[in-house]
Amino acid sequence: MAVDPQVQALLDMMAAVDTAPLSDATLAPTRESFAMLVAMTAGAGPDVELDGRSIGGPHGEIPLRIYRPRGDVSAPRPIVVFLHGGGWTIGTAEAYDPIAKHIAEGAGAIVVSVDYRLAPEHPFPVPYDECWAALQWVVAHAVELDGDAARVAVMGDSAGGNLSAVLAQRARAEGGPALVLQVLVYPATDFDLDRPSYKENASGYFLERSTMEYFWSCYAGGRVDATDPRLSPLRAADLSGLAPVVVITAELDPLRDEGEAYAEALRGAGVAVEHVRYDGMIHGFFMMPAMIDAGQRALDQTTAALRRAFGTLA
């Protein structure tokens, strides 16, 4: 399918900007540029309440951004633990502020966005450890948050989708916390850069194969076995008994095939799966609802799925 016209306009705009390949030397300006891109393409987001706090973690304090829809409520709200994308390397919870606001408003839920430490300064297992600690803290302190510990979901895009998937696997393995849903938006599920979608979409569609090579080298490098399911959730020996899942993929995305392979593997293991591929879309479209209509549709799809899982869909 052809590139969506709105996506093409964005690609043309980015092509006109002279940027150096991502490397340790260009990492700081790339982080700034990524935050600016999200701000430009996501918009301001809905008007919701925002609080910040830090919790103790295995590697130090973990900042959290806590979003609540406005309005009085007579019962505890469901909770979404949100894990941002950016290749474990360039994203931040603050940069994803508009997306977290959309999720809080659309799902009618408290959103706890985890500002985990970034690679390469803090490679695996630091982000994994911190996201797990945050999930445990949220469930243990649900009452303090005015939330419902029995209605907790995990959600993330790209690297955040990877972290959400591995948290869901760990929650099952350790007997909790119980999750009602996992939402995985074009997730990284396998440290394998030789799938057809990596070859078809190697360059020219925002996320490039060379960039993913850099992200993986920052996060895992040669320090650990890349087939470890904590890095590559698709490699887990047993996928049965996991929380129901929504998987979003994009046609023109190097990560397309591994996301779809994970959806199929989960379905084969008896997990309830809702998967939608957005044709003509690139990696990142989900965080661009102010510029790409399909990004808003995908947000609406995921927040409706969250409401169904929480039992609040009108």
Active-site residue, 228 included? no
The beta-strand segments (E) located in 237-272 are 245-252
Full strand arrangement of the beta sheet holding 147-157:
49-57, 60-68, 110-114, 77-83, 147-157, 181-185, 245-252, 273-282
Q: Which of 249, 110, 267 is nearest to 183 (CA)?
A: 249
Q: Whose structure tokens read 């929480």?
A: 310
Give the CB-side neighbour count of residue 141, counting CA atoms within 13 A.
Answer: 16
Q: Which of 11, 24, 17 is nearest to 90 (CA)?
A: 24
Q: Which of 148, 190, 253, 257 is catalytic?
A: 253
Q: Which of 312, 264, 273 is nearest to 104 (CA)?
A: 312
Q: CB under 8 Å to 169, separation ≥6 — which residues? A: 229, 233, 236, 239, 242
Q: Are 303 and 103 contacting, i.e. CB atoms less than 8 angstroms apart? A: yes
Q: What is the 3-state secondary structure (H, E, C) of 123-164?
A: CCCHHHHHHHHHHHHHHHCCCCCCEEEEEEEEEEECHHHHHH
Q: Which of 158, 164, 197, 232 is catalytic?
A: 158
Active-site residue, 164 included? no
Q: Which of 84, 102, 122, 283 is catalytic?
A: 283
Active-site residue, 84 included? no
Active-site residue list: 158, 253, 283
